Homo-oligomer: A and B are copies of this chain.
Amino acid sequence: MAHVQGERLIQMQRRLADFGGRSDGGVSREALSTTELAARQWLCGLCTGALYQWYIDDAANLIVRRHGTDPDLAPVMTGSHIDTQPIGGWLDGAYGVIAGLEVLHALDDAGIQTRRAIEVAIWTNEEGSRFSPGAMGSSAFSDPTRLQSFLAVQDAQGQRFESARNAALQATPTAQRIKLGHPVHAYIEAHIEQGPVMECGGYSLGIVTVIQGVRWYEVTVHGNSAHAGTTPLATREDALLTAATMVSHLGAAAAARHDDALRWTVGRFEVAPGSINTIADRVTFSVDVRHPQESELSAMHALLHRVLEQNQGACTYEVRALMQRAPTAFDAQVLAILESAVLATQAPHCHLGSGAFHDAMYLADCCPTAMLFVPSKKGISHNAAEDTLISDLVEGARALAAALVALADA
Chain A contacts to B: CB under 8 angstroms: 85-87, 127-129, 132, 134, 193-196, 212, 214, 216, 224-235, 238, 240-241, 243-245, 247-249, 251, 254-255, 260, 262-271, 273-281, 283, 286, 288, 290, 322, 354-357, 379-383
Contact = CB atoms under 8 A, between A and B. Distances in A.
Contact of A275 (B129, B225, B245, B249): B129
Nearest to A266: B240
A247 B251 contact: no
A276 B286 contact: yes
A280 to B, nearest CB: 6
Given A128-B277, A129-B278, A265-B279, 7 more contacts: A86-B273, A127-B277, A193-B230, A225-B383, A230-B379, A233-B262, A243-B244
A33 to B, nearest CB: 15
A378 to B, nearest CB: 9
A191 to B, nearest CB: 11
Contact of A225 (B87, B196, B229): B87
B85 A273 contact: yes
A261 to B, nearest CB: 9
A300 to B, nearest CB: 12
Contacts of A355: 227, 229-231
8 contacts: A85-B273, A86-B273, A194-B227, A227-B356, A231-B355, A265-B278, A267-B274, A276-B286
A266 B288 contact: no
A3 to B, nearest CB: 32
Nearest to A383: B225
A277 B128 CA distance: 8
Contacts of A268: 271, 274-276
Contacts of A354: 229-230
B229 A275 contact: no
A134 to B, nearest CB: 7
B233 A255 contact: yes
A229 B214 contact: yes
Given A227-B382, A355-B227, A275 B85 contact: yes
Contacts of A226: 379-383
A251 B244 contact: yes
Contacts of A193: 230
A346 to B, nearest CB: 27
Contacts of A225: 87, 382-383
A264 B233 contact: yes
Contact of A233 (B216, B254, B269, B288): B254
A148 B262 CA distance: 53
Contacts of A254: 233
Nearest to A262: B233
A373 B260 CA distance: 59
B263 A280 contact: no
Contact of A267 (B235, B251, B264, B279): B279
A340 to B, nearest CB: 27
A356 B226 CA distance: 11
Given A277-B128, A277-B288, A279-B267, A356 B240 contact: no
Contacts of A244: 243-245, 247-248, 251, 266, 269
B267 A230 contact: no
B247 A240 contact: yes
A288 B228 contact: yes
A276 B129 contact: yes
